[in-house]
Each structure stands twice: as structure tokens, then as C-alpha cells.
Chain A
Amino acid sequence: MSIGSTIDGSRRLRLPLVAILTAVLALFGSAAIANALFTTTATATVTVAVPTPIAPRPAIVSCVNNNFGILQVRARFTWTAPAGTTAELKEYVIRAKDSAGVVTELARPLKTTTTVDFQAGVVGGLFSGLLALIAGGAQPLITINAVFGAYESPSAFTYRLSSAGLLGLTGVGCTLVPA
């Protein structure tokens, strides 16, 4: 009796186990083994930097004494547009910096402009006040820069204006300031 119970007990244990294994194999079979997927990962980290854009400066800036006599004292600035970038050129900006370091924006010429006169005298001009300062012995620094969107060249040409002798007779002196 005890032997029979052991056999029956073993069968009772084995039958469900066999049934489960059969079901698992029937469900997945050999295909499951062939399709077992194993995964892996890899990463690559890259640091990307975009520095501040450096706008090109106007090319060949010159400043010449263009004095027409006592009534037409003027200095003429001439430049050419930065090569190859005129499509994005917005305008120019002219600034003066006095001996105290105070910077004053004098004008924003159109992008088509390539000449500006610092003129004083009877006719007067945009910068007559500046020339009056020069007559008083001041030597302001003048920069002419190109403007691209929100950016300007960090290395625009700078000229020092000064009185070339008796203002009105010998005109305005222009000196390029080394960068």
C-alpha cells in the first residue's frame, strides 16, 4: 500500500510537470531558442562649441585731410565693404572715443555708404562739434565698423583725429592707431 501510494504520488507530481513542459515547448518550441535576442548598448559623447561669430571689418579704411579752406574744414573717411559678405551686412557704425574714454555713437551709415566727411565751417556738418573739440586740442579716436545682425568686428580700424596746425588753415590730421 505504501509502495503504491509512492508511485501514485510520483505520477501525480510528474504529470503536471510534463504537461507544463509540453505546453511551453509547444508554445515556443525550437524557434524560441533560435530567436532569443540579446541586447547591448554603446554611447558616444561629443562636446560641441559654437563661439561668438567674428564679424569682418570694413576693408581699406582711410582718413585724409580734405580741407577746402577756412570755411570747409573736413576729414574724409573712406572704406570698402567687407569682401563677400555684403548680403548679410546690415549697416556701418561710427563712434568717437574721447580722452576720458567716453564712447559716443556718431552715426550709422547705410550699408551702401563708403564715405563720410567730418566737416565744420559755415556749412557745418554732422561732426562739427567734434571738430570744435579738435580745435581745442582734443584728439578723439574714431572707429568705423561694419554691423552684421547683432555683431560687429572686434578689431575695427581706429584713427586719431587731431588739429593739423591751425585748424581751418591746414585741416585735420588723421593717424591710424595700431591695433
Chain B
Amino acid sequence: MTRRRNVAIRTGVVLVWLLAALAGAGIARAAWADSEPISRQRLTTGRVGLTANGSATAAIGPITITPSFAGPVTQHFPVTIANVGNVGLTYQLDNITAAAPTNALFTTGLTVRVSKVTGSAACTGTNPGTTIIAAGSALPTATFALRPPLPPAGSEFLCFSLTIPLATNALFREGSVALTLHFHGQSL
């Protein structure tokens, strides 16, 4: 009787131990797994860089637009946008801002046209190049979307044309204003 009881106790202990061991291992292994092969990736370094007239913070001018009583007057200035990084990029004109205090010359006295030209020397004459921003556009809202990609060391020649109205026009304003063109580039 005692021996039978001892065997029963031992068997119970072993079962409990087995259950405990299996239970622990079972929970630990209760997982759902999946796998998806991915191709080998190569991580390479790259550098993005954008300049306007050879600088990230270019200064142009000053530009004087002499008013006339015979008609509107337009003055051009070229801006060369260059990709100075080692990856392809595209860029846009985010906006044009004026140094505070903003005056009427900025808000209504000047209008702008932006075009693509074959070179800085082509930034002359009447409506040069291919239009990007139509003539007569107000400066505070002048912007253009992403341009076609520029490869590393590639560049694009832009021509900005500022126009003042006839000197007797109600929108005509004298004075001066510092304009900042904000270009934004992004890698391809």
C-alpha cells in the first residue's frame, strides 16, 4: 500500500514537472512566424546641393528700373540654378519674399515673369526664353513647381523679368525693395 502510494506520488511529481516544463516551453514557442526574402540592399552615401548663381545665398544687383512716361519698363536678371551634389535632384521656387517692412513696390508696384533661357546672355529682349511664370504675375504669389531633374553638376538658366507700370499708372511706385528668391531642391 505504502509502496503503491509512493509510486503514485512519484508519478504525480514527474507529471507535474513535465507539465510545467512543457507549459513554459510551449508558451515561449507559441508564436506566428512568416518570412519574406528581400534583395540585398546596398547603402551608399550621397550629397545634395543646390546653388543660385554659384552660391547657396547669392546676392544679385542692385537693379535699377528707370520709370518711363512712354510705357511699362522691364529689367531682366539671370539666375543659374546648379546641382552641386552628387545625386540627381529637382527643384522649385517656393516663394519670393521682401525684406520688412514690405512696401507697395513689392505688393503691387512690380510684376514678374520667369523663363528658362539657354544661357545667362539670353536673358534679354522681350519675353526671352520659355515661360515658367507668366508675365504680369504678382511677386507675393510667384512660385513654380518642381522642375525637370538636374543631374549631378547639371544646371538650368532662369531669367527673371521685373516690370514696373507706366509712370502715370495708379499702380506705379517709387522706392526700393530687397527681394529674396527661395529655391527648394530635393533628391530624386
Contact = CB atoms under 8 A, between A and B. Distances in A.
Contact of A46 (B51, B109, B175, B178): B178
A42 B64 contact: no
Interface in A4-61: 4, 8, 11-12, 15, 22, 25-26, 29-30, 33, 36-53, 55-56
Interface string B20-50: 0000110011010011101101010010111
Contacts of B135: none
A93 to B, nearest CB: 16
Nearest to B94: A41
Interface string B93-131: 000000000000100011000000000000000000000
Given A25-B38, A47-B63, A48-B179, A41 B185 contact: yes
B11 interface: no
B176 A50 contact: yes
A3 to B, nearest CB: 13
Nearest to A55: B69
Contacts, number: 163
Interface in B41-69: 41, 43, 46, 48-53, 55-69
B81 interface: yes
A106 B25 CA distance: 113
B64 A51 contact: yes
A47 B176 contact: yes
Given A26-B36, A42-B81, A47-B62, A8 B25 contact: yes
A84 B75 CA distance: 21
Interface in A36-94: 36-53, 55-56, 84-85, 88, 90
Interface of B: 24-25, 28-29, 31, 34-36, 38-39, 41, 43, 46, 48-53, 55-70, 75, 77, 79, 81, 85, 87, 89, 105, 109-110, 160, 162, 164, 166-168, 172-187
Interface of A: 4, 8, 11-12, 15, 22, 25-26, 29-30, 33, 36-53, 55-56, 84-85, 88, 90, 148-149, 151
8 contacts: A33-B41, A39-B48, A42-B57, A47-B178, A48-B105, A88-B70, A151-B69, A151-B167
